Structure 1
């Protein structure tokens, strides 16, 4: 578990597990599944941690390393995205669904 981002670690490691495509066919649908199933307060904590992570301005190699540490098996490169752009998209979706 990544102690700096425990809620984000739980989200990404739980929902983007090794066989995540068996649950949903796309990463976007996995995020929707998380937001519909997970307690709102915990999702808000994950959102705050995601914002903190993105504010660190890590390069893609470091973000990939962190995603690996969290047990996230999704690879944004497969969808022609960087880790930063993928995580930014998740942040936007979470912000829209949790705060607006």
Structure 2
């Protein structure tokens, strides 16, 4: 896995879905809206490409979760009904700028 490809995704997940994200935002959707309004388009496009690459890797649910959390995300997406792949697809689709 190319580490450079995932830098922007890791920066976004770590910066916005950190352990205290719920103190700053009301929902994961409000986080995404904030990202779209405040991050450079190229960074968002790069993160989206990284998500596509990640989704093309054959991993188990627990491996996906471990990868997402290793990138700095503390968002417990299962609480909102997502599997790891569903969450990544939702995030990718939300980054459609």
Distance, in Å, in 2 between the alignment partners of 1:74 and 1:35 is: 18
Q: TM-score, normalised by structure 1?
A: 0.87
Query: Is 1:24 aligned to residue 32 of structure 2?
Result: no
Gaps of 5+ in 2: none
Instruction: Trace 1:18-97 onto structure 2 (pairs within 5 A).
Output: 18-95=19-96
The normalised TM-score by structure 2 is: 0.90
Q: What is the alpha-carbon distance in structure 2 between the residues aligned to residue 79 and residue 44 of structure 1?
A: 25
String of CA shifts for 1:31-57, please: whole Å, max 9, x gaps.
Answer: 111111001111111111111111113
Which residue pairs with 1:6 in the alignment? 7
Query: Matched residue of 2:95: which SS?
Result: helix
CA RMSD of aligned residues (A): 1.4
Paired residues, what number? 95
Structure 1 alignment gaps of length 5 or more: none
Q: Deviation string for 1:20-79 (max 9, x for gaps)?
A: 011111111111111110011111111111111111132211111011111100011111
